[in-house]
Structure 1
Amino acid sequence: MHQPLAKLSTEPSTQPLTKPSTEPVTQPSTEPSTQMSTLVPTHLSTEPSVQSSTQSPAHLANGFNDLLGKIRNIGLKSEDVFCNLRIPNQFQSGKDEISLVILTGRGVFCIDVKDWRGEVTQQKEKWHVKLGEEDASVRQFADPVQAIKAKATNLRSHLQRGAVSLDPAHFIPRVLLLSPDCLLSSQLQTRKEVVTHAHLNAFLRSFSEDFMTWAMDAFLPCWMSGHLSYRQLWDAREVLSRTGTWDQVRLLDGRQLQGDYRGCQHLAVLRQETEELEFTGPGILASLPLWETLGYTPLVAVTMYRRGVRSLFFRPTSGTASIPQCSHVVFRIEGEEADGRIPVDHIHSISLSV
């Protein structure tokens, strides 16, 4: 279930992430692999690589969390702000992530957040980010403005499938550049879809509504005011709250992986009913070699917690299971092209999106 204003994890491997195994780590091949990999925790570095320094997970997460704090301060309702929604693409063959979706009377703001640092120019359909004077290396990105426009169109189609029909003019795409060290070329500075750090506060203040705007929206029909009606906002909010984000695996050492849970051969999980899987190991004594020689197989207990039901003292479950300690969970890390396997005795819990 989507949780509004959920903070981005500062752990690496949101786009880059890990791999647990007891086998020695071999030198990775430069050729893409379609084979299932084993996730190794030692690959979870807290230091961003040189190549990804334009938008490292830690930098982006810190800047994103600061942005969410500013959004709270301007008075936007938390239920109208959605983070990291994954929207089916045009052919519903995959999903694209939108950093922020904000519902307002003026429309649905679709915002992609970037933490690029350096000089940014455009050449044809690519944006070039020069990392620095000393490094002088340049990274190429697909045009983020065209990308967020496409995502806004896909979001409109997604809402239509949920019986919420909104005019295309009510979808407002924006690319938000958080870093003050991002220097745009004069050509890009004229793009109305791009919001730089210098204009961030003014952009956020535009979401504040005065009393007269509130009164007009309350009493004027939407076809006269040009704003979304309360009913349209309510219906859109309902559909977006059921829209998935990423699944998260929390490892026993405290690190987190973000991606798609693919399953486990020993578990039958109903995603619509299950919000979280909690893993409890067999303990040290049960893992001793003596038990293995006696034919005993150590087991890991899995508790499945029911979605959407919480209380202060009790959390209802949708099921329990005991699986062999040698079992693996199949998980596709965000940004990876192949599924990986995580030993269940490395896992503390798995949170499932809708």
Structure 2
Amino acid sequence: MFNVRNRLVQAEHVSSPKVHSEEAHVQVGRDAEKSFLSALEKRGVNKGDVFCGLRVPDEFQTRKHEIDLVVLTGNGIYVIEVKNWSGAIRVSNDGKSWIQHKNDKSSGHATIEYDLKHDNVLDKLKLRANLLRNHLIRKDVCLPSKVFHSYVVFMNDRVSLPDDIASLKEVILPERYNQFLESFQFTYLSTLRDAIIPGFVSGQLSYSTMECARTVLKSIGTWDVIQLNGGKQLVGDFKSGSQIAPNRRETEKLQFVHQRNTITATLWAILGYTPQVSVSMLQRGGTGWLWNASNGTINIPYNMSITFRMAGDEMDSQIPANDIDYIQISI
């Protein structure tokens, strides 16, 4: 009787998982990036030429630096940081930081004012663009520095920047946003021009150079992502365990399938079954019209924990399998 009672409690736990809501500012920032990506796609930029969250090694290959967005075009390689910041931005006295002045309303409708200190975003982005260039050179894709373009794109109309930042061509304010997007506009005339005029004359990257760069960019790793029930995402490194050890070159996603129906879960508990989670290992590049190709499926206990090192943490976290919707696996 005691075992039945335990299984009924487990069934309730499985069918009513904790809801992990994303923090508002994180969700807003993620939506801004999605909006920018969608705008690029509408202007004809090939999805295969857009790379998100690349982790580029430094010159000694001891540490990796993340780049929000890299866009490969005939005009060069664009290294882009998308910001949804609001409030007034100023540069610190030493020029090493950007200070963001925020005004937030508390639950009691009082206004809370505070400053957030960020690294100089543009300097940091240019450093990462140079690391990306050096990485390409190590892979025998040798490109001059002039084909790398760094831009910080501010998406929020409620941001205010001083003239010394706003006047920089690498800083895209909301009023210049559409004009910036138009520079990526695909036209058949430009395609015809690129096919006729040699790259050393037009300044465009050749098709062969772009293909070599594309191959290297595809091979650069990104973060792994865990999506929790409720939409919250954890970014970091998934540590393969004894029961779940996918081949990263072959598997791009671990899809977790749960028994969320209360009635069904209760019936299985009465019949003597303890809850399990079915994990499908979806094949890298195996997305189809109706289904995704799978490298296999395994069943794990619902109360098993997944080892995950979140970005910026020095210790591993244990994430309950019952809370996970999927894990996106990087190369």
Normalised-by-shorter TM-score class: 0.7 to 0.9
2:102 counterpart residue number? 131
C-alpha displacement of 1:112 = 0.6
Q: Does 1:164 align with 2:141?
A: yes
| Cα deviation code 1:115-149 (max 9, x no counterpart) | 11111111221111111395331111100111111
Are the equivalent residues in 1 in contact too, given 2:52–2:70 (CA < 8 A)? Answer: yes
Q: Does 1:64 align with 2:33?
A: yes
Are the equivalent residues in 1 in contact too, given 2:22–2:232 (CA < 8 A)? Answer: no
Which protein is richer in helix relative to its size?
A: 2
Q: What is the aligned-residue identity percentage?
A: 33
Superposed CA RMSD in Å reads 3.0
Are the equivalent residues in 2 in contact too, given 1:175–1:194 (CA < 8 A)? Answer: yes
Which protein is richer in strand relative to its size?
A: 2
1:37 counterpart residue number? none
2:55 counterpart residue number? 86
Whole-angstrom distance in 1 between the partners of 2:189 and 2:288: 40
| Cα deviation code 1:263-298 (max 9, x no counterpart) | 22322221111122233458736985995xxxx876
Q: Does 1:284 align with 2:271?
A: no
1:108 counterpart residue number? 77
Alignment of 1:3-82 (within 5 A): 44-48=20-24, 56-82=25-51
Distance 1:310 1:79, change over 3 A: closer
C-alpha displacement of 1:46 = 4.1
Q: Unaligned 5+ residue runs, structure 2?
A: 1-9, 11-16, 105-110
Q: Does 1:155 align with 2:124?
A: no
| Cα deviation code 1:226-271 (max 9, x no counterpart) | 2211111122222223333332223345544333212223222211
* SS of residue matched to 1:137: strand
Distance 1:193 1:281, change over 3 A: closer
- 2:265 maps to a residue whose letter is I
C-alpha displacement of 1:299 = 4.8
Distance 1:256 1:138, change over 3 A: closer
> Normalising by structure 2, what TM-score?
0.80
| Cα deviation code 1:313-336 (max 9, x no counterpart) | 554432343444442111123444
Whole-angstrom distance in 2 between the partners of 1:254 and 1:186: 38
Whole-angstrom distance in 1 between the partners of 2:266 and 2:36: 48
Whole-angstrom distance in 2 between the partners of 1:342 and 1:248: 12
- 1:229 maps to a residue whose letter is S
2:330 counterpart residue number? 353
Are the equivalent residues in 2 in contact too, given 1:286–1:298 (CA < 8 A)? Answer: no
Alignment of 1:194-343 (within 5 A): 194-208=171-185, 213-253=190-230, 255-280=232-257, 284=265, 288=269, 299-312=276-289, 315-343=292-320
Whole-angstrom distance in 2 between the partners of 1:62 and 1:152: 24
C-alpha displacement of 1:205 = 1.5
> Normalising by structure 1, what TM-score?
0.75
Whole-angstrom distance in 1 between the partners of 2:63 and 2:209: 27
Whole-angstrom distance in 1 between the partners of 2:287 and 2:143: 34
| Cα deviation code 1:32-84 (max 9, x no counterpart) | xxxxxxxx956x44453xxxxxxx21221232232223222323222222223
Whole-angstrom distance in 2 between the partners of 1:159 and 1:275: 24
Whole-angstrom distance in 2 between the partners of 1:208 and 1:311: 28
Q: Unaligned 5+ residue runs, structure 1?
A: 1-21, 23-39, 49-55
Distance 1:132 1:273, change over 3 A: same
- 1:126 maps to a residue whose letter is S
* SS of residue matched to 2:246: coil
C-alpha displacement of 1:339 = 1.8
- 2:298 maps to a residue whose letter is A
Q: How many residues align?
A: 304
